[in-house]
Chain A
Amino acid sequence: MKILVPVKRVIDHNVKIRVKTDGSGVDLANVKMSMNPFDEIAVEEAIRLKEAGKADEVVVVSIGPAQAQDVLRTALAMGADRAILITVDGTVEPLTVAKLLKGVAENEQPGLVILGKQAIDDDANQTGQMLAALLGWSQATFASRIDLGADRAKVTREVDGGLQVIDVRLPAIMTADLRLNQPRYASLPNIMKAKKKPLEQKTPQDFGVTVEARLRVLRTEEPAVRQGGIKVANTAELFDKLKNEAGVI
């Protein structure tokens, strides 16, 4: 079975986000970028499935600027077999990404697509679901455990009330939640080998998709600065403040 894993290049999770002064978006100039952490979990899961003998090829795909090659190399260094880069400059919305991925899936015919549940830059949490709808495949989102069979899979999902186990038919779309696994570090020999693994370059035209913006960002602003707390002398004062100042009890 072939597993397809889409990965996105996003602002590094350690970077302190700054909004551009004109409010037009997040300042990305000279900022460290890396692979979306949920996508890392997805790559790890695919590699583990391959190592367990349940899959025979892991293909990673990224849609983004030329520099997105770096995150593809990272995935290859972790253990993916080959990579596809669809070069698009500027922002791409989840629906466009899903359409492009549909094209890739039709070419590649994977048995399973694992995505991150969301990207930490726009937190959209839509691509996996849209892709499932466009392909008409089963979907299992927010996966924290995947038991892959030959033509079906049991997936444990993280839902509000606890865990839900569902059984889906393959091919399927799955999205990785935080607790699915702990991604590995790439080893030095694998980083060296990654350089020689195939990386195919594509454009949206190759899939007959036009990249267009359907959403308009009106304004981006920083969250309000957190006010410093105060110390209360005793519980009576605490109750008084909760009741009369905060009005929450």
Chain B
Amino acid sequence: MYRAPVKEIAHTLNHVAGMKKALEEGLYGDLSEDLVDAILEEAGRFAGEEVAPLARIGDEKGAVLEDGAVTMPPGWRELYRNWCEGGWNALAAPQEWGGQGLPMTLAVAALEMWNSSSMAFALGPTLTMGAIEALDRHASEDLKKTYLEKLVSGEWAGTMNLTEPQAGSDLNALKTRAERSPDGTYRIFGQKIFITYGEHDLTDNIVHLVLARLPDAPAGTRGISLFLVPKYLVDEDGSVGPRNDAFCASIEHKLGIHASPTCTMIYGDGKYGDQPGAVGWLIGEENRGLACMFTMMNNARLAVGMQGVAVAEAAYQKALAYAKERRQGRAPNDKGADKGDDMSPIVSHPDVQRTLLTMKAMTQAARAIAYSCAHAMDMARLGGSETAAHWQERANLLTPLAKAFSTDIGVEAASLGLQVHGGMGYIEETGAAALYRDARIAPIYEGTNGIQAIDLVMRKLPQSGGDHVRGFIVELRETAERVRGANMPELGETASRLAAGIDDLEEATDHLLSLVADGKAESALCGATPYLRLFSLAAGATMAAGGAVAGSNADAARVARFLAENLLPETAALKRQVIAGEDSLLAAAGLLDVNG
């Protein structure tokens, strides 16, 4: 069963992401290191003891739709209520609305724990968190007063409605209609698909945030507005009133996260209410809906990235526990084999050790990037105008890495974890397969990982004319130098491996920057995905090693060394793909008969 790695999480927060320094500088008010520890400790306890035990029944029973109502798996309502009563939903929410206003960094660490114990459970509150942020930043005071307190407490839940059958990665194609109503509200008509937690019985009301188009809106993404459409209309006194004309027509049967209802939502079909259309309220300005969405996009992407880190951690723990129990073969070096059994526990085979350590090291690299991204977001919010701009660019740069690399390694680690279980991994009983199935969605939603790579190359590298990414690489070099100067024998050859990895990153970055500057988008995009991985490996390994040095943490140093000496060398091959992969790709693309 999952047990939150509180020490590793605290280490990464303090010594990799930079939280310790921020705390010492008093940037977070009364928050102190021991208070952070206490929060992590209790969140970890709740995650391991209360949430994790309900993951299996969630996977087996799933969410069930009947007559437009979704019933959550047995025990989940009570779990959700207890979780909200613990105040966890309100962790990062604004204090003005009953939240604790804690830093994003801490929120992300807690999110990791909820997701490790059950990704399907954590998803719901993740969407509520997004809705809170959108309303807090962009909604009118009236809307805030009506909705925010209840969303923050978790009494009501939120959703995000972007996707339609013809509009997935490409929101230009959105068709859902909004019409102005004389009373200042709007009427919404249309169909949304794949809406996570679009319908369920955890809360008394569900607050849908829906992207739609006004009749006179310009075409494309400049003509999209954001609306708040509650499942139940809210009375003057804040209590839940009549049903709005929005309902769940079906839920999907899918590979994983079975307890997370994925809904087709129908707005304005005439099923409820006496006037046509679902009643909606505008958030922000007309035709500026996508801009509202973008302000919370980084956070949402980081939150999905945490699912990758979280599943990887859970898969590692499960695989390690199994590897200590299962005995097969005789390991060359087994000293424990005399304990009454001829066979060694498989954890003593070097190949199994390599597998487990690959999982652990990848998890740590992804965690380092993701927490650093959260830290950048906190600094962007807190800093003075000049530093804020710098940190915003940093958050922008790290977001595609935090989303795509973490969720890729989430799938890889879950797959490796399954492998460690041998045949039993393929059997549902162990739970290894469930992690693998759950992990697989994360590279797809919230902007596919392919889209993240494009974003990195086309929009993030050119920030400040390329100066930001160059500055980041300089910082990586400085960290690598500190690693070289550190007197930690556990680090082995880490420093020189880091230097080589950073060289690869720099060369690939220069190459792509010049292609983008020359307007050669196609050439640049051929290498976008390998570049994102190269970038993530170099950055993640450097951050992990730097953190081990800063925190004088010998265990972390051993992980960082394995990462640098065993996994980082991949950057050389990735660099070749980025720089020299284009010709063969375009030549072979003919085989795909693109226009056929």
Contact = CB atoms under 8 A, between A and B. Distances in A.
A191 interface: yes
Interface in A151-205: 185-192, 194-195
A73 B41 CA distance: 12
Given A187-B86, A192-B100, A195-B30, A228 B42 contact: no
B3 A14 contact: yes
Interface stretch (B31-39, B298-306, B350-358, B525-533): B31-39
A162 B80 CA distance: 37
A74 interface: yes
Contacts, number: 48
Contacts of A186: 42, 86
A190 B100 CA distance: 11
Interface string B11-41: 0000000000000000000101011011100
Interface bracket on A? 10 to 19
Contacts of A236: none
Given A185-B46, A188-B91, A228 B340 contact: yes
Interface bracket on B? 20 to 34
Contact of B42 (A14, A77, A227): A77
Contacts of B34: 70, 73
A233 interface: no
Contacts of A77: 38, 42
Given A14-B3, A227-B340, A228-B340, A188 B90 contact: yes
A192 B341 contact: no
A225 interface: yes
Nearest to B84: A187
A228 B3 contact: no
Contact of B32 (A32, A194, A195): A195
Contacts of B45: 185
Interface in A3-45: 14, 32
B85 interface: yes
B87 interface: yes
A188 B341 contact: no
A225 B90 CA distance: 47
B339 interface: yes
B345 to A, nearest CB: 13
A188 B87 contact: yes
Most-contacted residue by chain B among A70, A185, A188, A195 (CB, 10 A): A188
A145 B517 CA distance: 76
Nearest to B82: A185
Nearest to B83: A185
B88 interface: yes
Interface in A96-153: none
Given A70-B38, A188-B42, A188-B88, 17 more contacts: A70-B34, A70-B37, A77-B38, A77-B42, A185-B46, A185-B50, A185-B82, A186-B42, A188-B43, A188-B90, A189-B100, A191-B38, A191-B42, A192-B35, A195-B35, A225-B339, A227-B340
30 contacts: A14-B3, A32-B7, A70-B34, A70-B37, A70-B38, A73-B38, A77-B42, A185-B42, A185-B46, A185-B86, A186-B42, A186-B86, A187-B85, A188-B43, A188-B86, A188-B87, A188-B88, A188-B90, A188-B91, A188-B100, A189-B87, A190-B87, A191-B39, A191-B42, A192-B100, A194-B38, A195-B30, A195-B35, A225-B340, A228-B341
The 5 closest A-B pairs by CB, nearest first: A188-B87, A187-B87, A228-B340, A187-B86, A189-B87
